[in-house]
Amino acid sequence: MNAAIDAAVALLLISAAVGVVVTADRPPATPADSGRADAVADTLAATTAAVNYSLTPGIRELNRSEAGADLSTDTDELDRTTHGSLAGLLARAATATSGVAAVDPEGKPLTRTRVGFRRAVRDAVRARTGAGIRIDATWRPYPDAPVGGHVGVGVEPPADGVHAATLVVPTGVEPIPATATVDFGWLGRAVAARTVEVLVPAGPARITLRGDDPEAALVAHRYARLESRTNTSLAEPLATEDTAVANARITDSLGERMAADLRRDYDHPSDAADAVSVSSVRIVVRTWSGPGGGA
């Protein structure tokens, strides 16, 4: 990802605190707990922060993996600062560091460009929420989808005495339309199209690819990783910065696999559509009492 893509995604995710939904998903609060999970969730939604990071890890990865690449990392043009609510930053970190498991079973991030960003977001959240709290931000288009991202902050909670609250942060892509729920093929493609829009928005990507700088190289590298992991040919459209066609080809490949997944796991497309969460990032806050757990 790069500055232009960042701008498009940031407008959707960082401002998403306005649309954050807090849902009750915990046992009744005890006097010791006193709604602490809800309080932390409110903090994530209402507190803003600025995080500083660098795109250097992505450039280093590109230099190692691309033949002939020798881009300099000794420049402040790779430094970034991002502002937003803690919830929005967590959501963005989850989507920006997503992986595609079509080739890589572990679903590791497509590139290391956002490793520094994820680390900076974790530090910012940890500094404002304290100890004895576990926060997990997860983006996955549907259960067990081959694409997804996750950011965790804090230690794993104990087995008992845990209270939880949930935030739902929009990714900025449109929900699945009702017309796509009558057929598994249509539904799979609709989910895939929105997944690709989150991974690499076509408009900002096209603008960036027209440049001649490290950011353009990073977007091209991201497409190369998507090309490999989805077994798609993107050389022709990307030669003319036709990201719409490139994204459509990735969508075709992912759509077939996603339709097959949904057909296997659900009896009817409408049931599968109810399980689709491509349009949101789910942030779960868990708190507990005891050593290091606070009140």
Would 9 be classed as within a structural domain? yes
Would 295 be classed as within a structural domain? no
Residue 7 to residues 1, 121, 220, 247, Cα–Cα distance (Å):
10, 17, 18, 19
- Phi/psi of residue 181, each to 5°? -95, 5
At what angle are helices 36-46 and 115-129 packed, to 10 degrees? 130
pLDDT at res. 291: 56
pLDDT at res. 83: 94
Which residue range(s) make up the domain with 18? 3-288
**Nearest 10 degrees: CA dihedral of 223, 243, 272, 170?**
90
Global confidence as pTM: 0.84
Would 293 be classed as within a structural domain? no
Whether pLDDT at 180 is above 50: yes
Would 294 be classed as within a structural domain? no
Percent of the chain with pLDDT over 70: 82
pLDDT at res. 264: 96
Whether pLDDT at 46 is above 70: yes
pLDDT at res. 72: 78
Would 170 be classed as within a structural domain? yes
Contact present, 205 and 243 (Cβ < 8 Å): yes
Number of domain units in the chain: 1
pLDDT tens sequence across 57-116: 888 888 887 766 777 777 777 888 999 999 999 999 999 888 886 444 444 566 667 788
